[in-house]
Amino acid sequence: MSDKVYGAKCTSCGTVNYPARAVCRNCRSETFEPIEVGGEGKLLTYTDVYALAIDYETRYLRLAIVELDNGIRVTGQLLDDDPKLGKRVRSTIGVVRKPGEVSIMGLQFVPA
């Protein structure tokens, strides 16, 4: 069970591709090295979603798109009782989905 989330950093131009892809979206090179994705950033947008898929038994899920200070944008779960657009947050790693017995780890955000 990994406790880090990774993007793919292009070895030619340094662009971080998150999600990872086969071809760099900036320079079209095909070689990458893994880079940890996370840290501090600002809340770009968020939602409380009640229309949940399978695997979730809560009443709602608070999801967000965060723009990290290094420019990378990520999607994750927001653990903040008082979200506001532009608010400073920082990432942690937690269980984000549990299909059956498997625990999937991913990015969660708390107030910075």
Partner 1 sequence: MAYISELEASLRPPAMDMPPYPPKVITLASGEEMVVRQVERDEVPILLEVLYPLLWVERDFYDIVAARLFGELLAYKRYRVKDEYVLAGLIDGVLAGMVNGRLMDAKTGMSYHTLTVRRGLRVGSHLFAAKMEYHIEHCKQEEVLIVAESPIGFRRWMIEYPLEKRFEVQHELGGVPSWVLLKETYYNAKPRLVAGRRPAPEDLLRGAETIMLPDEETVVRQVVGEKEGRE
Partner 2 sequence: MKPVYIAGAGMTKFGRSEWSLMELASNASLAALRHAGLGKIPVDSVVVANMGAARVNRQTALGSALVDQLALYPAMAEAVENGPASGASAFKVGCQAIASGMADVVLVTGVERMRVVNGLEGTDFVASLSQPEVEYIYGVTLPSLAGMFARLFMDRFGVERRHLAMIAIKNHENATKNPYAHIQLAVTMEGILTAPEAVVNNPPIATPLHMFDCCPVSDGAASIVLVSEEVVGKLGGPKVRVAGIGQATDTHAVHEREDPTDLKAVRIASEKAFSMAGLTPQDVDVAELHDAFTILEIAESEAAGFFGRGEAHKAIERGETKLDGKLPINPSGGLKAKGHPVGATGVAQLVELAWQLRGDADERQVKNAKIAYACNFGGFGNNVVATVLRREEK
Binding site for partner 1 (CB under 8 A): 57-59
Q: What is the longest distance spanned by two Cα atoms in the chain?
A: 45
- Residue 55's binding partner among partner 1, partner 2, none (Cβ under 5 to 8 angstroms by kind) is partner 2
- Residue 32's binding partner among partner 2, partner 1, none (Cβ under 5 to 8 angstroms by kind) is none
Q: Which of residues 69-108 bind partner 2 (CB under 8 A)?
A: 73-77, 85, 96-97, 104, 106-107
User: SS3 for 35?
Assistant: strand
The count of other CB atoms within 10 Å of the CB of residue 12 is: 13
Paired tokens of 94: 């937690």
User: Which position among 39, 40, 65, 93 is part of the footprint of partner 2 (CB under 8 A)?
Assistant: 65
Q: According to the binding rule CB under 8 A, does residue 19 interact with partner 2?
A: yes
97 alpha-carbon distance from chain centroid: 13
